[in-house]
A and B are shown apart, each in its own frame.
Chain A
Amino acid sequence: MTCTSGSKEFIDKSRRDFLKKAGAGVTTFTLASGVTLMAYPQAQKRPLDEPVSAKNRWGLLIDVNKCTPECDACVTACASENGWKQGGDPRVDAQWIRKLTVKNPKSGYESSFPVMCQHCENPPCVDVCPTGASFKRLDGIVLVDKHTCIGCRYCMIACPYNARSFIHEPLTDQRPWAPRGKGTVESCTLCVHRVDRGDEPACVEKCATDGNGALMFGDLNDPDSEISIRVATYATKQIRADLGLNPGVRYENL
């Protein structure tokens, strides 16, 4: 393959847009007599009244080379989408997503990237939860059911990514799609309310428009999705892959 990474992205994106427009049926184009171009659509969008299934496995791919230390578009987008606030008391502030900067002490090379709930296939937070509040949806999104959360914070201790926060103070004016309240644990929901209506998470959207386009969201179970193709083509890493949790969040060039 001779095309550069940039042109490949261009091809993939236009292909995806084409398929979006193509709709549900198989589209056939006649290029010349006897030569046809057939496009098979990707998995159809789940209707709002159907339960999620294991057919999908939602994931994120973060290109660390594109992510810059001074940019925090993903963090502010997450905070405004889900209604958590930054800049209060760092000991009790919620942190659904944070930017990390790591440095190789030998070479001095620095890289910066966001870390959020890694949406593990085998989530330790679910293993330890005494009430079943911490759970994994069939499509791989790990959530806290605050109706049954008793605020024991076992999951916060079990999570190797320090991804969860506890709400210490009474709250008002929450976002309607992101209920949050005192005495419960919370973390990145992969913007489940947006995913359910067929959109990308807020961080991915803002990274593309205001940031450096370092985040990619998609279905890891669909071999034709942009993210699956990229994961299959380039070397990617999971943080603490040695733990065998198989996170749905992957990092490229880390």
Chain B
Amino acid sequence: MISGMTSSLLKFLSLAIIAVLLTFSTSSASCAGEDGKVGGRADGPVLELPTDVEQCIRPTEFMRVNHMYLLEHKRDQTMRQGIRTDDASLQGCVDCHAKKDDAGKAIPVNDPGQFCAACHEYVSVKLDCFTCHRTTPDMPASTANIPRIPAHKELLAANTPPLGMPADVQKLRAYLDGELK
């Protein structure tokens, strides 16, 4: 009888210890979130952003969630309708976001750890753009007079999307069809 009571007390104590440990570990995880880790869960990739431009073509929060819809919309417009504005072109992304190595040579954006690859690897999304598309900036003499990197600030002023918009594809399409030419 006594030995039975001791074992149930031990069980209660061990459960209590586990509960305390769990609470402690959860609170430490949420602290990590406040420290700026992605999603407050684990260490996400740290991206090095271009320093020679002030702003991306849309606010960073919008681009993080919606860049693929912008690219897809632009892709169909350019391919099928011949609309070749600078806004939201994949080459525009590459021109800004490809880093240079110490020798001044551009590093492909899909190399491990680079701008495109870092996040896509982290979230296990296969990146198929660069089977066909160029991964480094390229400005040969014949096209040097054509400005490809748009004035980001002006673009942003002209196309300010509703901030904090969820990745609702239908809503986004309406926005793109209405405002993104």
Q: Does A49 contact B (CB under 8 A)?
A: yes
**Chain A residues with a Cβ closer than 8 Å to the other chain, count:** 31
Complex Cα distance A183/B132, Å?
A: 10
Contact in complex: B134, A49 (CB < 8 Å): no
> Is the C-beta of B173 less than 8 angstroms from some C-beta in chain A?
no
- Which residue in A51, A137, A184, A196 is a CB contact (below 8 Å) of B132? A184
The distance in angstroms between the C-alpha atoms of A143 and B75, with both chains bound, is 14
Shortest beta-carbon distance, B77 to chain A, in Å? 8
Tell me the complex Cα distance, A192–B77, Å.
14
For residue B91, which residue of chain A has the nearest CB? A176
For A147, the closest partner residue in chain B by CB is: B75
The SS class assigned to the A binding surface is: loop
Residues B132 and A48 in contact, CB atoms below 8 Å apart: no
Q: Given A139, A145, A170, which contacts B82 in the complex, CB threshold below 8 Å?
A: A139
Whether B85 sits at the interface, judged by CB under 8 Å, is yes
A176 adjacent to B134 (CB under 8 Å): yes
The reply to whether B80 and A137 contact each other, CB–CB distance below 8 Å, is yes
B133 touches A196 (CB 8 A): no
Within 8 A of B (CB), among A129-155: 135, 137, 139, 143, 145-147
Given the known interface contacts A173-B134, A179-B133, the answer about A51 and B81 at a Cβ–Cβ threshold of 8 Å is yes
Q: Is A8 interfacial (CB-CB < 8 Å)?
A: no
Interface flag for B61 (CB, 8 Å): no
Bound-complex Cα distance A51 to B82 (A) = 6
CB contact under 8 A between A181 and B131, given known A49-B181, A176-B138, A197-B146: yes
Residues of chain A within 8 A of B131, CB atoms compared? 170, 181-183
Cβ of B92 to closest chain A Cβ, rounded Å: 10
> Could you tell me if B79 and A143 are in contact, using CB atoms closer than 8 angstroms?
yes
- Output the least CB separation between B137 and chain A (Å): 8
Expressed in whole angstroms, the Cα–Cα distance for A127 and B75 within the complex equals 23
Query: Does A52 count as interface, using CB distance less than 8 angstroms?
Result: yes
Report B-chain residues with C-beta under 8 Å of the C-beta of A52.
81-82
A145 contact from B79, B85, B94, B181, Cβ within 8 A: B79
Instruction: Choose from A146, A181, A197 the contact partner of B84 (Cβ within 8 Å).
Output: A197
State A119–B146 Cα separation when bound (angstroms): 27
Contact with B along A163-183 (1 / 0, CB 8 A): 000000011111111011111
Instruction: Point out the residues of chain A lying under 8 angstroms from B84, CB to CB.
Output: 48, 193, 196-197
* B83 is an interface residue with CB less than 8 A from chain A: yes
Is the C-beta of A70 less than 8 angstroms from some C-beta in chain B? no
Closest approach, in angstroms, between the C-beta of B38 and any C-beta of chain A?
Answer: 29
- B residues less than 8 Å from A48 (CB atoms): 83-85
A51 touches B135 (CB 8 A): no
> Which residues of the partner chain B approach A170 to less than 8 Å between Cβ atoms?
131
Most chain A CB inside 10 Å of its own CB: which residue of B77, B80, B91, B131: B131
* Distance A200 CA – B91 CA, assembled complex (angstroms): 22
The residues of A with any CB-CB pair to B shorter than 8 Å are 46, 48-52, 135, 137, 139, 143, 145-147, 170-177, 179-184, 192-193, 196-197
Minimum-distance CB pairs A-B, first 8: A181-B132, A51-B81, A179-B132, A181-B131, A52-B82, A176-B91, A49-B181, A179-B133
Taking A174-B134, A175-B134, A179-B132 as known contacts, 12 extra A-B pairs with beta carbons closer than 8 A to each other, sorted by chain A number, are: A48-B83, A48-B84, A49-B181, A50-B83, A52-B81, A52-B82, A137-B80, A137-B82, A146-B132, A176-B91, A181-B131, A181-B132
CB pairs A–B below 8 angstroms (18 shown): A48-B83, A48-B84, A49-B85, A50-B83, A51-B82, A52-B81, A135-B80, A145-B80, A146-B132, A147-B79, A171-B132, A172-B135, A173-B138, A174-B133, A175-B138, A176-B134, A181-B132, A196-B84
